[in-house]
Amino acid sequence: MTGIDPLALREALDEAREAIAAAAKRSGRAPDAAELVIAGKYVGADDVPALVEAGVGVIGENRLQDLQAKRAAPGGGALTFDFIGHLQSRKVRDVVDEVRLIQSVDRESLMDAIAARSEGPVRVLLQVNIAGEDSKGGFVPGQLDAALEHAARCGIVVGGFMALPPPAADPEHSRPWFDRVRAVRDELMERWNPDHDLTDLSMGTSQDFVVAVEAGATIVRVGRGIIDRARMEP
Ligand X SMILES: *Cc1c(COP(=O)(O)O)cnc(C)c1O
Distance CA 4, CA 223 (A): 13
Q: What's the one-letter identity of residue 86? A: H
Contact 57, 32 (CB under 8 A): no
Shortest separation between residue 75's beta carbon and ligand X, angstroms: 22
Note the residues at the interface with ligand X (CB under 6 A).
Answer: 39, 41, 62, 84, 164, 205-206, 221-225
Instruction: Using the minimum distance from each CB to ligand X, give the nearer residue, 66 or 214.
Output: 66
Instruction: Using the minimum distance from each CB to ligand X, give the nearer residue, 68 or 206.
Output: 206
Within a 10 A sphere around the Cβ of 120, how many other Cβ atoms?
6
Shortest separation between residue 24's beta carbon and ligand X, angstroms: 18
Q: Which residue is nearest to ligand X (CB)?
A: 223
Shortest separation between residue 116's beta carbon and ligand X, angstroms: 25
Instruction: Using the minimum distance from each CB to ligand X, give the nearer residue, 44 or 225.
Output: 225
Give one word for 160, left, alpha or beta, with left for phi > 0 and alpha for psi -120 to 50: left
135 alpha-carbon distance from chain centroid: 19
Shortest separation between residue 176's beta carbon and ligand X, angstroms: 19
Instruction: Using the minimum distance from each CB to ligand X, give the nearer residue, 27 or 62.
Output: 62
Instruction: Using the minimum distance from each CB to ligand X, give the nearer residue, 118 or 174.
Output: 174
Shortest separation between residue 231's beta carbon and ligand X, angstroms: 13
User: Measured between alpha carbons, how far is residue 228 from residues 13, 26, 56, 196, 206 in Å?
Assistant: 12, 27, 15, 37, 11
Residue 83: name the closest of 187, 202, 199 by CA: 202
Distance CA 82, CA 113 (A): 17
